[in-house]
């Protein structure tokens, strides 16, 4: 069996060395005599794994000591409710920027619990850019300000963070966490589903400033209260033990690669290879506005639906898989997370050039 180049938006490619390490430890983790999957989450051996995972993440992201790291379940989508339930602690008002499917879902959910105002939106232009933000229009009485830092489906990302003053900034970082340097102290909450850039599905990481914990609305279910998990060090109930273990291996791998600054540099090089090609191609076209282009998810289209189809089919035969775009955008999307080697992007571009030569008139 040959491994393919997997451009899936998520669950997505993992570093091969991580998979090999997991394979090596599959039957017997160190001297425990069992697989990590079979371990009590309260055992000493597992305690070390989860603590090391947290320690590595803190080191990689330089997380200040007044922030808690929580390992939760329920996907990033559960955070769409958990954020308002926990942060509507004063005026039950929040500002949201609408930049795609994931912000829309978050807005819809948050509206159940309070007043949601859309400060800016790029919906009319098909979410192909990040809208201009004017901080004088932000509500200073909002309980929080919400953004999706990287829009997985439309391939846009914030290059500047909004200045929200005293209002806590909340970011859904599911598809770009650990891809570039980020100053955690600028955020009230950062959350991310693991299955894009951190590990397997089943784990959701929440990084939260301590003063935002402990003010949940009365109706908040115990499992949706950040305090429940913060007080119990993510061990209130059984955490997603194996996903956390794999994430720990991914964090170690990132450290070996030189950390986030080194990853950012590599990610920028990788994205540039593909964008440079798209910018000069007469057949392929990138769909996101240049100033806001994502380093992780790169959507592009061909002139006709037939060509899109043909490209995706031929790509699969050549070992480039999961290039089909999201159903709401169509065309193609190459997700090139941390674990996608530069070589994978170079080879994809070579294949695209061949396709262009064959099909250009
Ligand atoms: C994938 C994704 C989600 C949804 O994540 P789940 O873990 O499946 O709930 C939310 N936000 C963004 C930005 C995503 O890319």
83 vs 155, 207, 210, CA distance in Å?
24, 12, 14
Taking the centre of ligand 1 as the mean of its atom positions, its distance from the CA of residue 173, in whole angstroms, is 9
Question: What is the model's pTM?
Answer: 0.98
Catalogue all structural domains in the chain, each as residue range(s) with its CATH number. 17-256 (3.40.640.10), 260-359 (3.90.1150.10)
Q: Which residues contact 326 (CB under 8 A, 6 or more apart)?
A: 9, 101, 152, 153, 299, 333
What is the atom index within ligand 1 of the atom nearest the CA of 100?
A: 13
- Name the residue with tokens 């309070």: 114
Tens-place pLDDT, residues 159-215: 999 999 999 999 999 999 999 999 999 999 999 999 999 999 999 999 999 999 999
Cβ atoms of residues 349 and 277 within 8 Å:
yes
Residue whose CA is closest, atom 10 of ligand 1? 76
Both tokens of 133, joined, read 């933000």
DSSP state of 3: -
As a whole number, the mean pLDDT across the chain is 97
Residue whose CA is closest, atom 5 of ligand 1? 76
Catalytic site residue from 68, 95, 102, 253: 102
Catalytic site residue from 95, 143, 172, 292: 172
Taking the mean position of all CA atoms in its chain, how far away is CA 234?
20
Tens-place pLDDT, residues 237-288: 999 999 999 999 999 999 999 999 999 999 999 999 999 999 999 999 999 9
Cβ atoms of residues 257 and 219 within 8 Å:
no
Tens-place pLDDT, residues 13-53: 999 999 999 999 999 999 999 999 999 999 999 999 999 99
Q: Which of 52, 59, 63, 56 is nearest to 30 (CA)?
A: 52
Catalytic site residue from 196, 248, 270, 324: 196
Tens-place pLDDT, residues 138-173: 999 999 999 999 999 999 999 999 999 999 999 999
Cβ atoms of residues 211 and 65 within 8 Å:
no
Q: Report whether residue 174 contacts ligand 1, using a CB cutoff of 6 Å.
A: yes
Identify the pLDDT of residue 62. 98
Verify whether residue 172 is a known catalytic residue. Answer: yes
Helix (H) or strand (E) holding 320: strand 320-321
Q: Report whether residue 76 contacts ligand 1, using a CB cutoff of 6 Å.
A: yes
Q: Say whether pLDDT at 361 is over 80.
A: no
The pick from 71, 76, 176 for probing ligand 1's pocket by mutation, whose C-beta has the most ligand atoms within 8 angstroms, reads 76
Distance in angstroms between the alpha carbons of the first and the last residue of the chain: 37
DSSP state of 327: T
Other Cβ atoms closer than 10 A to 222: 11
Q: Which residues contact 127 (CB under 8 A, 6 or more apart)?
A: 99, 100, 101, 151, 153, 154, 156
Q: Report whether residue 73 contacts ligand 1, using a CB cutoff of 6 Å.
A: no
Return d(Cα 156, Cα 130) in angstroms, integer: 7
Cross-strand pairs, 144: 94
Verify whether residue 102 is a known catalytic residue. Answer: yes
What is the atom index within ligand 1 of the atom nearest the CA of 150?
A: 13
Return d(Cα 46, Cα 106) in angstroms, integer: 33
Other Cβ atoms closer than 10 A to 290: 9
Taking the centre of ligand 1 as the mean of its atom positions, its distance from the CA of residue 193, in whole angstroms, is 6
Tens-place pLDDT, residues 262-271: 999 999 999 9
DSSP state of 212: G
Identify the pLDDT of residue 328. 84
Q: Report whether residue 81 contacts ligand 1, using a CB cutoff of 6 Å.
A: no
360: pLDDT confidence band, cut at 50, 70 and 90?
confident
- Reduced 3-state DSSP string for 97-138: EECCHHHHHHHHHHCCCCEEEEEEECHHHCCCCCCCCCHHHC
- Reduced 3-state DSSP string for 8-55: CCCCCCCCHHHHHHHHHCCCCCCCCCCCHHHCCCCCHHHHHHHHHHHH
Q: Which residues contact 150 (CB under 8 A, 6 or more apart)?
A: 156, 157, 158, 173, 174, 175, 176, 179, 294, 296, 297
Q: Which of 96, 4, 17, 5 is nearest to 257 (CA)?
A: 17
């Amino acid at each position: 069996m040959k491994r393919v180049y997997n451009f899936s938006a998520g669950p997505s490619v993992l570093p091969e060395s991580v998979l090999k390490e997991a394979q090596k430890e599959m039957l017997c983790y160190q001297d425990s005599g069992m697989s990590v999957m079979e371990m009590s989450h309260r055992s000493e051996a597992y305690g070390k794994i989860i603590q090391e995972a947290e320690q590595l993440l803190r080191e990689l992201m330089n997380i200040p000591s007044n922030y808690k790291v929580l390992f939760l379940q329920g996907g990033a989508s559960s955070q769409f409710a958990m954020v308002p339930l926990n942060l509507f602690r004063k005026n039950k008002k929040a500002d949201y920027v609408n930049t795609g499917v994931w912000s829309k879902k978050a807005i819809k959910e948050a509206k159940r619990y309070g007043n949601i105002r859309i400060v800016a939106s790029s919906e009319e232009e098909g979410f192909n850019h990040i809208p201009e933000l004017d901080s004088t229009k932000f509500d200073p009485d909002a309980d929080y300000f919400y953004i999706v830092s990287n829009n997985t489906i439309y391939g846009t990302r914030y290059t500047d963070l909004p200045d929200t003053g005293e209002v806590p900034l909340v970011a859904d970082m599911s598809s770009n966490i650990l891809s570039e340097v980020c100053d955690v102290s600028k955020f009230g909450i950062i959350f991310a589903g693991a299955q894009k850039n951190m590990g397997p599905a089943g784990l959701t990481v929440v990084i939260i400033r301590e003063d935002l914990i402990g003010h949940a609305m009365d109706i908040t279910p115990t499992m949706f209260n950040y305090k429940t998990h913060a007080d119990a060090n993510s061990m209130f109930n059984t955490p997603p033990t194996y996903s956390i273990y794999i994430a720990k291996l991914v964090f170690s791998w990132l450290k070996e690669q030189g950390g986030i600054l080194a990853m950012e540099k590599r990610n920028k090089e990788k994205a540039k290879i593909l964008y440079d090609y798209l910018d000069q191609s007469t057949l392929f076209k990138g769909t996101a506005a240049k100033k806001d282009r994502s380093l992780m998810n790169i959507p592009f289209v061909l002139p006709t639906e037939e060509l899109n189809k043909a490209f995706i089919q031929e790509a699969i035969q050549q070992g480039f898989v999961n290039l089909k775009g999201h159903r709401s955008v169509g065309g193609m999307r190459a997700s090139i997370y941390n674990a996608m080697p530069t070589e994978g992007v170079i080879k994809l571009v070579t294949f695209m050039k061949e396709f262009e030569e064959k099909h250009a008139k």
